[in-house]
Amino acid sequence: MDIKAAQKIVTDLQNLLNQYSYEYYVMDKPSVPDSEYDKLLRELIEYEEQFPELRTPDSPTHRVGGAILDMFEKVEHSSPMLSLANAFNEDDLRDFDRKVRQAVGEDYSYVCELKIDGLAVTLQYENGYFTRGATRGDGTVGEDITENLKTIKTIPLKLKEAVTLEVRGEAFMPKKSFEALNKGKEERGEEPFANPRNAAAGSLRQLDPKLAAKRKLDIFLYAIADLGETGVKSHSEGLDLLDRLGFKTNHERKKCAGIEEVLEYISGWGEKRPNLAYDIDGIVVKVDSLDQQEELGRTAKSPRWSIAYKFPAEEVITTLRDIELNVGRTGVVTPTAILDPVRVAGTTVQRATLHNEDLIREKNIKIGDKVVVKKAGDIIPEVVNVLAEQRTGDEKDFFMPTHCPECDSELVRLEGEVALRCINPKCPAQIREGLIHFVSRNAMNIDGLGEKVISQLFGEHLIKDVADIYKLTEEQLLGLERMGEKSASNLLHAIQASKGNSLERLLFGLGIRHVGSKAAKTLAQELGSMEALSKATAEELTSINEIGGKMADSVVSYFEMEEVQELLKELEAAGVNFEYKGPRPVSPEEFDSIFAGKTIVLTGKLSILTRGEAQEKLEALGAKVSGSVSKKTDLLIAGEDAGSKLAKAESLGIDVWDEEQLIEELNK
């Protein structure tokens, strides 16, 4: 076939597939079966492979993902992507309304929109074609994730008009996609995502666009970066323009004449929220008139013409059917509530931690009770209280056992502890949990070696300690359930790669009592090698800043054990690195940073950085990051839903920054 004939076929296929995609994903009115769309797409791929010069910027084949990227480039936004101030109750909203009324008078209206729980992005179009997309980043500079964004089928690659503009929106993972993704991860023995927001952010911030394509993300566009060039006079008109151009906007929005209508809208969505196909965590309220927005202006961090109302943590009622006991890697026996499945904050919950026997008694929990459940921080399920008035008389008291449920050794309660503990070092549950800890993300970070795979390996007697992980063969792995050749090969590669980890990861992974990830890094930095650490005395260890007597004694006792020395010999023989590879410790005087020598506490939920990333950046600039607020604290970084630490810092007169201030200073 000559190129002229192919040109017509390719153009017709591209136009047809783009139309079908718009009908299906944006209008929610599919006109052809999925099989027909897939057949035409395969045909287009074949033609474009034969005639690559015919592949246009708006071709649907961009949706399947391109080559793996080396890195994300930084993108400076044409105008800042500001965060919104938060409202948590009616008083906050009325206070916002009062300030609006004082500034613009009585003639104004609001637009209310669902606050999608996802990742804020910005999209640039030139002459109608999608040219670049980026994350919000710190509001001024984001990351170029164009190739990943192209895989979202609701983002038009070509607009209905040849306009040049920049639009903002929220990329998210629908509940259905999230459930399918986590089901697959669990089947492979991998750590599931905590919530759809994390899953969406993780999908867009990884370097293989083909993986992003498989995650089936979606997007709602909610703003044009500069409405002044469009001729529209209000925010609601801007949303209508986005619709006309072919973007997907959220049609659950409503124009409200005043604060009473806003409160009514919020109340309605508080009840209807669980029925949505995606997660929302609040309602965004915006002054509609662009002239009034201009008059209200903004602070350094957020506009004065908009506010985000945050829903309180969702609470639901279910039945507590049983209480199971779990033995952790340190021997602590933890009771866990087994619940009738119930959907809470976007995911189905069947288990909730009860922490210890004292808490069960304090909350008067019985097996068979109707209980109120919520997710602490929208992540960890917990039993809030019991509905004692609904008891039938069939409920049963729960008593902690006297012996370990795994090895039948007698349980003890150590002085000063509320937890019961199994102190048998050969307890199989402790060994298994220790193996799971060793491969976890903050320890040796062996991708693909999750809890289920570890349990299989341990159950089949293929591993009995962490050194055995480095002796695994492909043949042994292929004998596991749901383990194919590719998965086995990938896992062996991940195990091999973990041998090169810096010493602090290995130290944390070994599970030495009282040594957390931060202490492991401190020890690795100060002593430099496993050999030096294993020979250190308690006096030498306590001379290190932040290493106390209890931790020092624990470290010395650990390395004195004969079985530990044997284990280390096996790990060394396997080629596991025993040296510290990170930056050397330096004194605050060596840093040109306002953070140098400061004691800083992180609290609340950060949206741009993870806690670990923030801590790493601060420590790299000479700060000491602490877990608790005291008179010695110099600065508190408070994210969303900051609680008691924020209150204590304010009572002590300690400086408090939000994440925006932190990012701004880090960028300097």
What CATH code is assigned to 86-310? 3.30.470.30
Ranges 151-160, 161-170, 510-519, 611-620: which has the least confidence: 611-620
- pLDDT of 436 reads 93
What confidence category does residue 241 fall into, taking pLDDT thresholds of 50, 70 and 90?
very high
134-156 mean pLDDT: 90
113-120 mean pLDDT: 93
What CATH code is assigned to 3-64? 1.10.287.610
- pLDDT of 248 reads 95
Ranges 62-76, 306-320, 518-532, 637-651: which has the least confidence: 62-76
Q: Answer yes or no: is pLDDT of 587 > 60.
A: no
Using an 8 Å Cβ cutoff, are 158 and 129 in contact?
yes
b vs e for 529-538, b when ≥16 Cβ sit within 10 Å of the residue's Cβ?
ebebbbebeb
Q: Answer yes or no: is pLDDT of 145 > 80.
A: yes
86-92 mean pLDDT: 90
Q: pTM for this structure? A: 0.54
Nearest residue to 55 (alpha-carbon basis) of 63, 64, 65, 45: 45
Q: In this structure, what DSSP letter does residue 608 have? A: S
| Cα separation values, 460 from 17, 453, 463, Å | 50, 11, 8
Using an 8 Å Cβ cutoff, are 305 and 296 in contact?
yes
- pLDDT of 90 reads 93
What CATH code is assigned to 588-667? 3.40.50.10190
11-25 mean pLDDT: 86
The percent of residues in the chain predicted with pLDDT above 70, rounded, is 96
Residue 352 in tokens? 């909730």
Which of the two residues, 69 and 95, has the higher pLDDT score?
A: 95
294-320 mean pLDDT: 88
**DSSP secondary structure string for all residues of 588-610:** GGG--STTTT-EEEEESB-SSS-
Using an 8 Å Cβ cutoff, are 200 and 172 in contact?
yes
How many Cβ atoms from other residues are within 10 Å of residue 358's Cβ? Answer: 11
Q: Answer yes or no: is pLDDT of 70 > 80.
A: no
pLDDT in tens, 270-281: 888 888 999 898
- pLDDT of 242 reads 96
Which of the two residues, 546 and 487, has the higher pLDDT score?
A: 487
Quickly list H helices, 321-469. Answer: 357-362, 428-438, 451-459
- pLDDT of 29 reads 79
Length of the chain measured in residues: 668
460-468 mean pLDDT: 93
What confidence category does residue 312 fall into, taking pLDDT thresholds of 50, 70 and 90?
confident
* Same fold across 3-64 and 428-573: no
600-617 mean pLDDT: 83
What confidence category does residue 585 fall into, taking pLDDT thresholds of 50, 70 and 90?
low
List the domain boundaries for the chain. Answer: 3-64, 86-310, 315-403, 428-573, 588-667
Q: In this structure, what DSSP letter does residue 58 have? A: T
Max mean pLDDT among 22-36, 210-224, 632-646 falls in 210-224
Is the domain defined by 428-573 classed in CATH 3.30.70.120?
no
Any catalytic annotation for residue 518? Answer: no
What confidence category does residue 643 fall into, taking pLDDT thresholds of 50, 70 and 90?
confident
By 3-state DSSP, what share of the chain in percent is helix, strand and coil, each rounded to 5? 40, 20, 40
- pLDDT of 20 reads 86
Q: Which residue of the set 4, 29, 39, 115 is catalytic?
A: 115
45-54 mean pLDDT: 87
What confidence category does residue 584 fall into, taking pLDDT thresholds of 50, 70 and 90?
low
- pLDDT of 381 reads 86
| Cα separation values, 174 from 114, 177, 220, 572, 608, Å | 14, 5, 11, 46, 21
pLDDT in tens, 402-454: 999 999 999 998 777 778 889 887 899 999 999 999 999 889 999 889 888 99
Under CATH, what is the fold of the domain 315-403? Answer: OB fold (Dihydrolipoamide Acetyltransferase, E2P) (2.40.50)
289-313 mean pLDDT: 89
Q: At what angle do helices 175-187 and 196-204 cross, to 10 degrees?
A: 80
- pLDDT of 66 reads 66
Residue 68 in tokens? 């793996």
Q: In what order do the strands lie in the sheet with 86-87?
A: 86-87, 306-310, 280-287, 110-116, 254-256
Mean confidence (pLDDT) of the chain: 88
- pLDDT of 590 reads 60
| Largest Cα–Cα separation, the chain | 85
What confidence category does residue 461 fall into, taking pLDDT thresholds of 50, 70 and 90?
very high
Ranges 23-37, 39-53, 513-527, 576-590: which has the least confidence: 576-590
Which of left, alpha, beta for 578 (phi over 0: left; psi -120 to 50: alpha)? alpha
- pLDDT of 407 reads 93
